Structures are given as C-alpha cells and as structure tokens.
Chain A
Amino acid sequence: MATTQTESEADAATEVGSVELEVFRYVPEEDDEPRFESYTVDAEEGTTVLDALIEIRDTEDASLTVRHSCRMARCGSDALYINGKQRLACNTLVKEVGEPVKVEPLPRFDVIRDLVVDMEGFYDRMEAVEPWFQPSHEPETGEEFLQSPENRKNIDTVLDCIWCGACTSSCSPAGTDDRFKGPAALAKAYRFYKDEREGEEARKNRLRLLEDAHGIYRCHTQFNCTEVCPKGISPTEAIMEMSRDATKQKLAFWRR
C-alpha cells in the first residue's frame, strides 16, 4: 500500500499513475437506490483492486464498506464483481482489468452494505452436501487414518476451494434455482466423493444426495464457474464426472 511503503520500496515500484474506480455504493437502511461513486487513486505496478479500495476508505471516504482479511487470496472474503467478472479483489491488479475499474458486489447475492453481500445462503448450500468426512471404518486405536498419495492426487485442485462464492455467483442455474447447490458445493462434494477412505456405501449415498431433479444434472456446462475460480478449480469437471458415475450406477442397477 502506497501510504505505508518505505522510500526505497516506493522508488522501486513502477508508477502506473492515477486510476479511476467506479464503486457500487448502497446502504439499504438509508438509500432508495444503489449508486456508483467515482474515485481516483494513485496506483503502482503491484496495486491490487483491494489496495485501491482500502486507499479510498483510508483517505477519501471512510464509510466505504468492503470485506477483506488475509489480502493474499487465502481467506476468500473479498470476491467482488470487477469489470464484469467475479474476481478476488486482492488477487486482481488494477492495471490488468483496464480503466475505469468498475467494482460491484457479487451478483445473485443480497447486498448488506456497499460491497458486502450476505453469504448465508451460500453457506447453507455448502452445508447441504454434507461437507464432512464420513469414514467407512475406524482405524486401529491410536493409528492415524492416512489417505494414499495416489488418492490424494484426485482432489488436489478441489481442495484449494476457499469458499469465496465467485463460482456460485457466476452460475446461471444456481441463480435461478435455489435448490441447485451450485458449483462450489458440488466441487466440495466431489472432494469427499473421491476420498476412498469413505468407502463404497458413503460414495453411493453422496451421489444419491446430489442426483435429484435439482441436483447435478442441472449443470449446463456454461463453464462460468471454471472461468472465474480464483484458485483454478474446475467445478464443471467435477460435476461432469459425478453425473457420469451416477448415470453408470443407475444403469448397473437396471441390469441387475
């Protein structure tokens, strides 16, 4: 951040110049309609959108509300709709998105204030897929229940999910259909679905949980979720694999 940098660091950073931001402002208790406020901040080569927003809050308008925590794309607090795409503000450089930088809260989420949205519905969806470990058996007393490295490889990418909500915000079926769990929750389900320590019975249960009329088959392979995921996860791929397996399982059932 420009204000806290030392002289030498400031010299080393390449000056990009002043950058214009259009920020969504809305306080439900006070305003009738949301509005866009224009701000100009000095940006450097490495200034992120979050840096710029914090700069605005610190120097121009202390009432600007934005949720953030770790500032390094680990906590998933600051997923925003920046220039027409769901991105993490802390992981998006000002210079890479083009001017003016239009910052809005996540679409399809309800706005609590300014850029802060209500994540409650999203967490409900995550919880609906039972995102906890359900082992088929307990290991011998005192033994650690290890997953084989080969098995772990399957879930390397989906494990990176930080619950930021960017994918679910970008997904059309998740937007129109509350009962469709959305890409994040389904990728989370996939993480446990692929875990061999859960056993065959739990796998079948997990698929059963997902394959009703509002389940995995609602995915329309829009790939919006895959495009916007800041961690490079492809929920589409996970959903496709599970729906294929679910169909196979049904066919096997008929053959019997």
Chain B
Amino acid sequence: MSKDTRVETYSRGLIEDPSRWKDWMGGMWAFYLHRFTGLVLSFYLVMHLFVLSTGYWMGHETYTEVMQAIAAPKVIHVMELGLFAAFVFHALNGTRIVLFDMMRGLEIQEQLFYLSVALSFAIVVASAPFFLLG
C-alpha cells in the first residue's frame, strides 16, 4: 500500500486468510458465500449450455441419451440439490443486497443474513425429495 521507502516494511497478508475464519463476521460470510455460489452458478451455466448444445450439434437422439445418462447416477442428484441450494442462497442474499441498495435494513444486516441462510436451508430441505427421489 505504501510508497514510503525509508523503512523496510512487512506485509501482514490478508484477513481473508482461511485460517482466520473464526474472526469473520456475518457480513463477511454473506459476501464469501455469495461470491462462491455465484462462481459455482456461472460455471454451471457455461457447462449447462455446452451439454445442452448436443441437441443442436448431434441431434435429438444423442441429446436424449446424454440427458438420461447424466441424470442416472444418484450422486448427480445430490449435486443438483447442491446447485439448487447455491441458487436459493444466492437469490435470497441477493434480495438482501438489493434491499441495502434501496437503503433498507442496513441496521439489521446480520439478522437478514441469518434469515437468508435459514430460509435457504428450509427451502432446500423441503425440496430435497424432488431431487433425491425424482
């Protein structure tokens, strides 16, 4: 950060260092979860469109085969539930952020974060059967 070269300085590193996770406050967790789920969803979007494009490039039969093959293993269903969880949290925390942009709820930001986590959890648990049994 410094331009001063009179003294040697030592860079302290970042408080984002995972070893400091105990010190993170609510808003910090919200930020990192939002960023992480955002990256997951963006990556999924790219892969999703790539996989679906078999329907254009290789014809409908291949598409059906690919879709059935992907949906077959149980582990995929768990991952899909994870993706859904990422979406739900990103959506709820996104709503929280939009509220801040409109100057609402700034004083109860930490409670709002816990609320969005709790709501996400409830929604994910409630919809788990659709993913795991369907």
> Which A residues are within 8 Å of any B CB, using their own CB?
26, 28-29, 34, 81, 84-85, 104-113, 117-118, 120-122, 124, 169-170, 172, 175-176, 178, 220-224, 227, 234, 236-237, 240-241, 243-244
Residue of A with least CB distance to B106: A237
Complex alpha-carbon distance, A169 and B11, angstroms = 13
With a cutoff of 8 Å between Cβ atoms, the chain A residues found around residue B3 in the complex are 120-121, 124
The number of residues on chain B lying at the interface, defined by a beta carbon within 8 Å of a beta carbon of chain A, is: 32
Residue from B9, B15, B23, B26 within 8 A of A111 (CB atoms):
B9
Given contacts A120-B4, A223-B27, A223-B109, contact A237 B103 (CB under 8 A): yes
Residue from B16, B22, B100 within 8 A of A175 (CB atoms):
B16
With a cutoff of 8 Å between Cβ atoms, the chain A residues found around residue B7 in the complex are 28-29, 112-113, 118
Q: Which chain B residues numbered 1 to 38 have a C-beta less than 8 Å away from chain A?
A: 1-4, 7-16, 20, 22-23, 25-28, 30-31, 34
Q: Is the CB of B1 within 8 A of A172?
A: no
Give the shortest distance, in Å, between B106 (CB) and chain A (any CB): 5
Q: Is the CB of A118 within 8 A of B25?
A: no
Q: Is the CB of B9 within 8 A of A118?
A: yes
Q: Is the CB of A222 within 8 A of B101?
A: no
Given contacts A26-B10, A28-B10, contact A84 B22 (CB under 8 A): yes
Given contacts A240-B100, A241-B103, contact A172 B16 (CB under 8 A): yes
Residue from B11, B22, B27 within 8 A of A221 (CB atoms):
B27
Q: Is the CB of A221 within 8 A of B12?
A: no
Whether, in the assembled complex, B110 has its beta carbon less than 8 Å from a beta carbon of chain A, the answer is yes
Top 7 A-B pairs, shortest CB-CB distance: A84-B23, A121-B1, A110-B9, A223-B27, A28-B8, A222-B27, A111-B10
Q: Is the CB of A29 within 8 A of B8?
A: yes
Q: Is the CB of B9 within 8 A of A105?
A: no
Whether, in the assembled complex, B88 has its beta carbon less than 8 Å from a beta carbon of chain A, the answer is no
Please give 20 more A-B residue pairs, beta carbons under 8 A apart, in addition to A81-B15, A109-B12. A29-B8, A84-B20, A104-B12, A105-B12, A106-B12, A107-B13, A107-B15, A110-B1, A110-B11, A110-B12, A112-B7, A118-B1, A118-B9, A122-B1, A221-B97, A234-B106, A236-B109, A237-B106, A240-B101, A244-B103
What are some 16 contacts across the A-B interface (CB < 8 A)? A29-B7, A29-B8, A81-B15, A84-B20, A108-B14, A108-B15, A111-B10, A120-B3, A121-B2, A175-B16, A220-B34, A222-B30, A224-B27, A240-B101, A241-B103, A243-B101
- Of B14, B26, B100, chain A has the most CB atoms within 10 Å of the CB of B100
With a cutoff of 8 Å between Cβ atoms, the chain B residues found around residue A84 in the complex are 20, 22-23
Whether, in the assembled complex, B126 has its beta carbon less than 8 Å from a beta carbon of chain A, the answer is no
Whether, in the assembled complex, B49 has its beta carbon less than 8 Å from a beta carbon of chain A, the answer is no
- Of B7, B15, B34, B102, chain A has the most CB atoms within 10 Å of the CB of B15
Complex alpha-carbon distance, A172 and B28, angstroms = 9
Q: Is the CB of B103 within 8 A of A222?
A: no
With a cutoff of 8 Å between Cβ atoms, the chain B residues found around residue A241 in the complex are 103
Give the shortest distance, in Å, between B46 (CB) and chain A (any CB): 23
With a cutoff of 8 Å between Cβ atoms, the chain B residues found around residue A113 in the complex are 7
With a cutoff of 8 Å between Cβ atoms, the chain A residues found around residue B15 in the complex are 81, 107-108, 169-170, 175
Residue of B with least CB distance to A236: B106
Complex alpha-carbon distance, A81 and B3, angstroms = 23
With a cutoff of 8 Å between Cβ atoms, the chain B residues found around residue A28 in the complex are 7-10
With a cutoff of 8 Å between Cβ atoms, the chain B residues found around residue A120 in the complex are 1-4
Residue of A with least CB distance to B1: A121
Complex alpha-carbon distance, A81 and B14, angstroms = 12
Complex alpha-carbon distance, A220 and B3, angstroms = 27
Give the shortest distance, in Å, between B97 (CB) and chain A (any CB): 6
With a cutoff of 8 Å between Cβ atoms, the chain B residues found around residue A26 in the complex are 10
